[in-house]
Structure 1
Amino acid sequence: MNTTTLVSRYSSSYEDDCYWKMAGNTPTVIRKVIALFLAVFVDLSLVYVSGFVVTHSVFGHLARLWVSAALRCLALTAVTLISLGDLKPLLLRVIAAHSLLPAVFETGTKALCNEETQYGLLADMRCWLMCAAASLAGALFWELTIPDSDVTAASKDKKQKARVLFVKVLHLYKADFLLLLGGLVFLTLAVMCEMFIPFYTGRVIDILGSQYQPDEFISALLFTGLFSLGSSVSAGCRGGLLLCAISSFTCRVKVKLFGALTKQEIGFFETIKTGEITSRLSKDTNLMGRTVCLNVNVLLRTFIKTLGMISLMMNLSWKLTFLVVMETPITVLIQNIYDTHYQRLSLAVQDSMALANEVANEVISGIYAVRSFNTEKHEALRYDNRLLDTHTLKTRRDTVRAVYLLAQKLTGLVMQLLMLYYGRMLIQSGQMTAGNMVSFILYQSNFGDNIRTLTYIFGDMLNSVGAAGKVFEYLDRKPQVSTEGELKPDQLTGHISFNNVNFAYPATPNTTVLQDFSVELKSGQMTALVGPSGGGKSTCVSLLERFYEQRNGDILLDNKPLKSYDHRFLHKQIAVVSQKPVLFSGSVKYNITYGLAESVNFQEAARKANAHDFIMKLEKGYDTEVGEGGSRLAESERQRIAIARALVRQPRVLILDEITSSLDPDSENKILKALAGCSNQTLLVIAHRLKTIEKADQIVLIADGTVQERGTHQELMDSRKSYYKLRENLH
């Protein structure tokens, strides 16, 4: 039976017998205050009795301390149970630590240094106050780092996830192993040199304060200079190597992330906003670089310095060292509280900045619509609101940091005052020299900073790992549209079949776009898809391009499923020219040969697309820059370059999606005439201008995601159904 069970049974029985009869309906807060005053009174009484006993030499000093510790622990436990009726694990830890600390401290002092301090009443009171403060600080530190509540499961999972992400980031640094190893070597040298500088500074002061000896003075100055130089040179080399590693890592991760993003299905980009993606690509990858290189660099450097300083401080004065070490739990406690709030606000700031970037991207990419509808002020206000949200979050985050820094400085100031006061006593008693005290002060100043750095760096690493988690979320994401096909036949006819295809877009899964859709595109023939907008024509093109995966049914190319073909092979055999083609910054030649070797016959493709003549009239011909998105070209010129880009690939299946809307009749006739000469090519045309597809081998009327009619132009006109009515309405 454990202690908690015994306490629970004892408190339960005592409550039933007398406690509630005495307490009645006393409010909980008042009971706790009464319990606190009662516990303090009982404990101080026992401390006074203990001092009386040692004054009259009833027991030995150490025996008196341990007996007193046991009695105080039992008495405080009993008072807590009687007053509160319950004893939580946190209270039990505080009581045990508060009662046992004096005995443990005095026993350790006797065992290690063979010293013994006989406390009088005043000394015991000071000891009591210090032990109470240390016990409360230790209990709070325990509660924050290892809480008793069952709700810590989520926190444990978070820490486990952070460790896994950290290992994954470390694995990505494998290529920079030599740079990291060199940085670690110089880091160690810099720390070792830096640690001895305060020691020789104190040595110089002792030499100057006593009988001056030139040789010792020069030797101390020489060692101080050498260690300072060694520390500076090593620190510079360390920084250079680690910065090189960070730069290499960041570039590599950005390339990997960009490659992973480009492999995602189109539906992914419809559900994830552009601003969020660019934020991950630009900002979070940089934060990942800090996770290992900078943070681990600071962690190792600070840890090595701390261990070395403790060793040197113990040699100077073990008593002052124990006093300084008492700052550690308070510092860690403050840091844990700060990390909890700062991390949450930092993540909120990142998300808010991503939303602000999204607004900016939307406005810039749709500037024509913004100007057309005169919504400049509206968009500026919307962007301002996003920035205001970010500013508010940053203000809250910075306020938390300001309070943290204030608490940090106050803690260091109080500890320094205590150290100076106790150090003066040691100097007066001859246990330290003035030079040793100066060295110790220099070490203590760095020691406090090191402890704060150690506690801070864990929080900062969690922030960096949080950013890494968002990056790995994209790096590890598998596209929902498979690109793992391996089929690459030497001969391909271009025969396509849609068999009972059903499809809904990922963004609107409850809206069926194609329903039991079946159509056949024969090799060497021209098939035209017509019908009202939103009927499913462009969806057929998207499915042929493998932008999406159909829910059920089959799409076959030469009687083989599209997904069984090699991704690169398939997109070389199926080329699409959309209504609003996308051109990239670069020359006309670059855009026509996009993704291909420049040795291909691009001029022949431009002639078929009726683009060669206008290209030659440009300032630099095929070397003319088209501008961002082709902004320097007219819409019809962009369209013809896009057609040439498709034709230069010599695809077996060519898809023209509403391309004639921006072409003049002459260009349209020339292009269609050139395409009609390709007898071995399957041509799929989507058009609203029915005049352009009268000579198609097959016309398919699509409405509401199903095939309504199919046949030649004459057959459909003779049937006088939907196609006939559509044709008549357009005249």
Structure 2
Amino acid sequence: MSKTSSLLSSLLFASVDACVLGLLRSLQLSPRVFSNFPSPPLAALWTGELIRALILTLLLPFLTSGPCWVPNSELFQTILVLTLHLPVYLTVVRVLGGAVDEEMWAWHSWERMFQGYLVTLVSWIYWSQYVQPVLLSLFRSVSSIWGWKRRPREESKKPTISSLRRLMGFMRPHSGRFAVILLLVVLSSFCEMAVPKYTGHVTDWLQNQGSPDAFTEAITVIAIMTVAGAILEFIADLMYNITMSHLHIAVQADVFQAVLNQEIAFFDSTPAGELVSRITTDTNTMSEALSEKLNLLMWYTGRVVFLFVFMLMQSLKMSLLTLMGLPIIWFVPKFTAQFYQEISVKVQDSLAKANQVASETFSCIKTVKSFANEDGETERYRRCVEDTYTLNKQEALAYAGSTSANSMTTLAMKVFILYYGGVLVTHGMISSGELVSFVLYELQFALVVDALMHYYPMVKKAVGGSGKIFEYLDRKPQIPPDGTLAPENLEGHVEFKNVTFAYSNGNGDVLKNVSLEMKPGKVTALVGLNRSGKSSCVKLLERFYQPQDGVILLDGQPINCYQDAYLRQKISVVSQDVALFARSVRENIKYGCEEASDEDMYEAARMASVHKDITKMSKGYDTDAGEKGGQISGGQKQRIAIARALIRRPTILVLDNATSDLDSRNEYQVKYFLDLTVDGYSKFGFRRFTRAS
């Protein structure tokens, strides 16, 4: 219903406008009116257009809506543009000394009416899509500088920072380099303008049979400017790519650190494969697009500006005709870029799922093979890849459609330019050389605009794909702020007081109103059935999670009051599911404690009853443990993990069923050394949590 009403209003508006123009044309051409009210053509033009504007304005209350392309709030501005653009243009041309008498007498023709609506449509596109957003952005910037208050409605909305602005934030430390690069782009683009300019001079020389010196001078200038432009472009490309490589490393490092700082619950709910995909694949895709595509986009933007300036110098009218065709050409890439941005997010999500399947399969390859489920995992991965393929087909369809539309619009613009240029040459308004120069500029202009339309969606795609990266960068860890306590001496008195805790998976309380006490210098055993909350107590003690109720005290102070790094130093945990890194045994034992000496490492290994086993390995302590410790036995992994905990000389040692994979002999030796350490070194208090099967 609204579309029908808008269409009827548009027809009514155009019909009334046509009637007004017909009436004004009859009055102007009437000999009686002309003899009674003689007036200069420019004054008659202004008078007629003002009358036209007044009548169309009086028509507004009778319209349910304006022309179909214009919002109701902008109808009056649209009428002003429709009726006054020609008087303003001809007045400016007249002031500049141009001949406008012929055009002023034909202002009320049907051709001018159609041209007026076309100019109004183009003007509205320019205003709504480009000028108005820039003005609003400038107004916000000035408002923030001068401290102007926004409306209450605007204050309630949290400002969202676009991904592109965030990317520019990473470039800000290198603003000096980018200023030099921009200068080189300007100089190089200016040098490239010499070829069409002097080609036009050569054309005039051939037509008029000028002096040979003019021809030689033109060829020399073309050669010098071409070489200079190539050298400047090489330097700018080199500086830009080096700078963007540095930015890629910085972004990837920041994303990795931001993810690493998240709480444990975040890793519980987010698959590891997806995290790896975001840190590597997404950042690589974004950096490659910005390194190559944004570079080209910057070059072509510089060229298109210079090309249009030189086109204005050759012919104002042909330049305005070209300018009128730009919004139609620009609308196509803007629409496809938005589609690209939406598709890119879906593609990257699909790739992340596929990476998760592959990562999970390879990390559990022994389980996969033991159950002979290679075909099942292959089918899972194939389904994920097929989803990605479906999205890629949609992306390819959008690319093919935009390319065809771009080619058709640029070709149409070339045809109009050639036709109109021939008319101007016929009327003697420009020379043949100027037409040749303009056509060469316009051909480059069309190629540059086509390149901008090609690379702009790619940059938009990279920006859209970076959204998830900035989500990780902006995400605040859901943990309490770090405490301030870091006493030199910690006794290790732990108390749980009425602690209630539940995981975020909604499976109910794991701990409910639990109270217990672990005294310093004592070995405390927490025994219970599976899923009774023993490991949850360990995770709460490590501050991996926060209890919903109750408090955990350490030496009489809430555990949240201590510095997080201090707690990690004073509390060491060895769990049943030992995690070793794909590094040497030496690096695994000294993990997080690289300043420890080799003697400290040997002592910790002896206490964990693993020193002899390590020395019998092929490379001793330099032996590679393999992925997740897969190159060594389960018992050796547990003892290496115990040595890794002991080398830190913790005040509180937590063993969460840490000897489950040891035989009775090695388990006895580990317990013997631990008990000996507790008794022999009173300054070190140990707490050991063990679980019963």
Give the deviation of 1:246 after TM superposition: 0.9
CA contact (8 A) 1:497 1:555 kept: yes
Counterpart CA distance in 1 for 2:377 and 2:9 is: 57
- How many angstroms apart in 1 are the aligned matches of 2:381 and 2:30? 76
Distance in structure 2 (CA, Å) of the matches to 1:491 and 1:663: 34
In structure 1, how many angstroms separate the alpha carbons of the residues matched to 2:5 and 2:166?
Answer: 50
SS in structure 2 at match of 1:683: coil
3-state SS, counterpart of residue 390 of structure 2: helix
Other-structure match for 2:686? 682
Q: Deviations over 1:169-215 (max 9, x none)?
A: 43433443443233223222212212223212222333333325332
> Which of 182, 185, 188 is matched with 1:184 structurally?
182
Residue equivalent to 1:273: 271
Query: Would the alpha carbon gap of residues 506 and 535 (structure 1) be closer, same or farther in structure 2, given more than 3 Å must change?
Result: same
- Does the aligned pair in 2 maintain the 1:140–1:333 contact within 8 Å? no
Deviates more, 1:645-654 or 1:44-53: 44-53
Give the match for residue 568 of structure 2: 571
State the 1:673 CA deviation.
1.3
SS of 2:475's partner is coil
Does residue 1:523 correspond to 2:524, yes or no? no
What aligned pairs does 1:6-17 form with structure 2 within 5 A after superposition?
A: none
Measured after TM superposition, the shift of residue 265 of structure 1 is 1.4
Q: Is 1:115 matched with 2:82?
A: no
Quote the residue 2:655 is aligned against. 656
Q: What's 1:316 paired with?
A: 314
Q: How many Å apart are 1:456 and its aligned residue?
A: 7.8
Cα distance in 2 between the residues matched to 1:574 and 1:388: 47
What amino acid sits opposite 2:410 in the alignment?
G
**1:421-436 to 2 correspondence within 5 Å?**
421-436=419-434
Task: Select which of 15, 26, 51 maps to 1:49.
Answer: 26
> 2:553 maps to what in 1?
556
Deviation at 1:454, TM superposition (A): 6.6
Residue pairs, 1:243-322, within 5 angstroms: 243-286=241-284, 289=287, 301-302=299-300, 304-322=302-320
Residue from 370, 382, 393 that aligns with 1:384? 382
> Identity of paired residues, percent?
33
For 1:518 and 1:160, how far apart are their aligned partners in 2? Answer: 45
Letter in 1 for 2:50: A
Q: Is the Cα–Cα contact under 8 Å of residues 176 and 248 in structure 1 kept in the other structure?
A: no
Deviates more, 1:458-467 or 1:330-339: 458-467
Where 2:160 maps in the other structure, the secondary structure is: helix
Asked if 1 retains the 8 angstrom alpha-carbon contact of 2:66 and 2:75, the reply is: no
Match of 1:539 in 2: 536
Aligned counterpart for 2:50 among listed residues 70, 80, 87: 70
Question: Residues 53 and 59 of structure 1 are in contact (CA less than 8 Å); yes or no, is this contact kept in structure 2?
Answer: no
Pairs aligned (count): 657
* Code of the aligned partner of 1:198: P
Deviations 1:38-68 (A, max 9, x none): 4475266347536735997865322333333
Looking at structure 1, the residues matched to 74 and 368 of structure 2 have their Cα atoms a distance apart, in angstroms, of: 61
* More displaced 10-residue stretch of structure 1: 354-363 or 588-597: 354-363
Query: What is the CA distance between 1:367 and its match in structure 2?
Result: 3.2
Structure 1, 524-533 or 458-467: larger mean CA deviation: 458-467
Counterpart in the other structure of 1:338: 336
C-alpha contact (below 8 Å) 2:337/2:461 kept by paired residues: no
The CA distance in 2 between the partners of 1:342 and 1:481, in whole Å, is: 36
Cα 1:345–1:435 change in 2 (3 A) is: same
Tell me the SS of whatever aligns to 1:385: helix
Is 1:128 the counterpart of 2:113? The answer is yes
Q: Distance in 2 between matches of 1:646 and 1:391?
A: 47
1:106 match: 90
| 1:670 and 2:669 aligned | yes
1:280/1:470 contact within 8 Å kept: yes
Cα 1:604–1:76 change in 2 (3 A) is same
Counterparts in 2 of 1:655 and 1:159: CA distance versus 1, 3 Å: closer
User: 2: distance between equivalents of 1:141 and 1:116?
Assistant: 26
Distance (whole Å) between structure 2 residues aligned to residue 258 and residue 518 of structure 1: 38
Q: CA deviation at 1:158?
A: 11
In structure 2, give the amino acid aligned to 1:70.
L
**TM-score (structure 2 length as normaliser):** 0.85
**1:475-514 matched pairs, under 5 angstroms:** 475-482=473-480, 484-508=482-506, 511-514=508-511
Give RMSD over aligned pairs.
Answer: 3.6
Deviations 1:498-529 (A, max 9, x none): 12212122343x72111121111122222112
Match of 1:138 among 118, 123, 134: 123
Evaluate the alpha carbon distance shift between residue 230 and residue 46 of structure 1 in structure 2; reply closer, same or farther with a 3 A threshold.
farther
- 1:131 CA displacement: 2.2
Aligned pair partner of 1:420 in 418, 421, 425: 418
Q: 1:395/1:245 Cα in 2 relative to 1: closer, same or farther (>3 Å)?
A: same
**8 Å contact 1:335–1:452 — kept in the other structure?**
no
Q: CA deviation at 1:625?
A: 1.2
Q: Where in structure 2 are there 5+ consecutive unaligned residues? A: 134-150
Contact map agreement 1:31 1:84 (CA 8 A) in 2: no
CA shift for structure 1 position 243: 0.9
How far 1:115 moved relative to its partner? Answer: 0.8
Indicate if the aligned counterparts of 1:38 and 1:79 stay in contact, CA closer than 8 A: no
> Against the structure 1 CA distance between its residues 434 and 158, is the aligned structure 2 distance closer, same or farther, given a 3 Å change threshold?
farther
- Which ranges of structure 1 fall in alignment gaps of 5 or more residues? 1-26, 148-152, 690-731
Partners of 1:322 and 1:289 in 2: how far apart?
37
Contact kept, 8 Å, 2:656 with 2:690, in 1: the verdict is yes
| Structure 1 Cα separation of the partners of residues 245 and 27 of structure 2 | 65
Deviation at 1:530? 1.5
Distance 2:183 2:10 in 1: 57
Give, in whole Å, the separation in 2 of the partners of 1:156 and 1:332: 33
CA 507–310 in structure 1, closer or farther in 2 if over 3 Å, else same: same
Deviation, structure 1 residue 397: 3.1
State the partner residue of 2:206. Answer: 208
Contact persistence 2:341–2:464 (CA under 8 A): no
Q: Compare CA radii of gyration and give the structure with the larger one.
A: 1
Give, in whole Å, the separation in 1 of the partners of 2:449 and 2:26.
Answer: 39
Residue deviations 1:350-384, cap 9 Å, x none? 33333333333333333344444444434333333
Tell me the alpha carbon deviations over residues 615-669 of structure 1, each in whole angstroms, 9 at most, x when there is no partner: 2221111111111111111212212211221122222211111223211111111
Return the match for 2:591 from 588, 591, 594.
Answer: 594
1:661-689 Cα deviation digits (max 9, x unpaired): 21111111111111111224323232225
Q: CA distance change for structure 1 residues 279 and 331 in 2, over 3 Å: closer, same or farther?
A: same
For 1:441, the equivalent position in structure 2 comes to 439
Question: What SS does the aligned partner of 1:432 have?
Answer: coil
CA drift of 1:412 comes to 1.7
Q: Is 1:616 the counterpart of 2:596 in the alignment?
A: no
Contact 2:425 2:432 in 1 (8 A): yes
Per mean C-alpha deviation after superposition, the further-off stretch among 284-293 and 575-584 is 284-293
Specify the alignment match of 1:625 in structure 2: 624
Going from structure 1 to structure 2, the CA distance change for 1:335 and 1:654 (only over 3 Å counts) comes to: same
**2:207, 2:551 → 1: CA distance?**
94
Contact 1:577 1:657 in 2 (8 A): yes
Between 1:78-87 and 1:313-322, the stretch displaced more is 78-87
Number of the residue aligned with 1:395: 393
> 565, 580, 585: which one pairs with 1:583?
580
Matched letter for residue 542 of structure 2: E
Find the aligned partners of 2:418 and 2:154 in 1 and give their Cα distance.
40
